Amino acid sequence: MKKTIILFFFILIVPLRAYERSMLDLHLPSELEPWQMQFTVRHRFYQPIDEFLDDQSGANVGLGLRYAFPFSLEASVQYLYSSREWLTGVSYHQSSKKVGSVQIEAYYLSLKPSYNSTDRESGLFVQLALKGPFFFKRITPVMNAGYDTYLKKPGLGLGVDLALSKKIALIAEYYPSLNADHDEKAGTSFGIVFKTYGHHFIIQAGNNTKISTRRLMRGTTEEDFFLGFTIHRLLGS
């Protein structure tokens, strides 16, 4: 474990150049160059903001790895701690400066239906990620639309990136609940992104502790807001 922690911090501190934009949880069409890789850590606290200093009830954690290939192809793997869930996926993207970018993604998921379950269940999740052109050179709209074969339900996520400078951006995301037969309501989150060479540091707040667009598209039953953070790390020249 000690060696793993040392390696993790070494990965974070090695300097690299700047790279693609980041959202809170929504996916953007990839801008990684072939043979580049991105490592991601997502952390969502379980205690509400107004109890943050009083209660220590743990957190939901997600780890992710993306690897870019030639011909606009990419492979990825994610692990979500709360559901012991693995998502292994492939994607294809295309971009245009005039009309924006598009990415098609497909994931195989394997999860435990409950925390203490010894069995695993599986399904597929397909998603379309769209990024619009810049407005006023600072505003970028984003949309993700997906279908979950495990739940047999569609999902939608909308977001906007407001660039304050080349290194700082404000981000907001909205996940309307399409599950009319449940008690879920729309999920909302907002945050700020700090960009350095090879890193993106994100601090956020939202009415959800879930990780991944597949889960966030379900909506939320939470009344409180929760803090979270994300670190993206670029690997490769």
pLDDT at 37: 95
Compute CA distances 58 → 22, 43, 84, 116, 143, whole Å: 25, 10, 16, 17, 31
**What residues have CB less than 8 Å from 218, skipping those under 6 apart?**
151, 153, 155, 177, 179, 184, 210
**pTM of the predicted protein model:** 0.87
Give me the pLDDT at residue 17, please: 45
Q: In this predicted model, what pLDDT tens digit does every residue of 98-137 receive, in sequence order?
A: 778 999 999 999 998 887 778 899 999 999 999 988 776 7
Report the distance separating Cα 222 and Cα 226, nearest Å: 10
Q: What is the mean pLDDT of residues 175-203?
A: 87
pLDDT at 39: 96
Question: Which pLDDT score is estimated for 217?
Answer: 94
- Residues 76, 67: contact at Cβ < 8 Å? yes
Contact of 197 with 233, CB cutoff 8 Å: no
- The residue count of the chain comes to 237
CA distance linking residue 229 with residue 41, whole number of Å: 8
In the numeric block, the tokens 């960009």 are attached to 195
Question: What are the structural domain ranges in the chain?
Answer: 2-60+129-235
Determine contact, residues 235/38, Cβ cutoff 8 Å. yes
- Written as six digits, the tokens of 159 are 């977001």
Amino acid at 193: V
> Read out DSSP for 60-92?
EEEEEEEEEETTTEEEEEEEETTTTEEEEEEEE
> Bridge partners of 194?
168, 201
Locate 217 and state its tokens.
Answer: 């598209």
How confident is the model over 204-215, as pLDDT tens digits?
A: 999 999 999 999
List Cβ neighbours of 52 (8 Å cut-off, separation of 6 or more). 45, 227
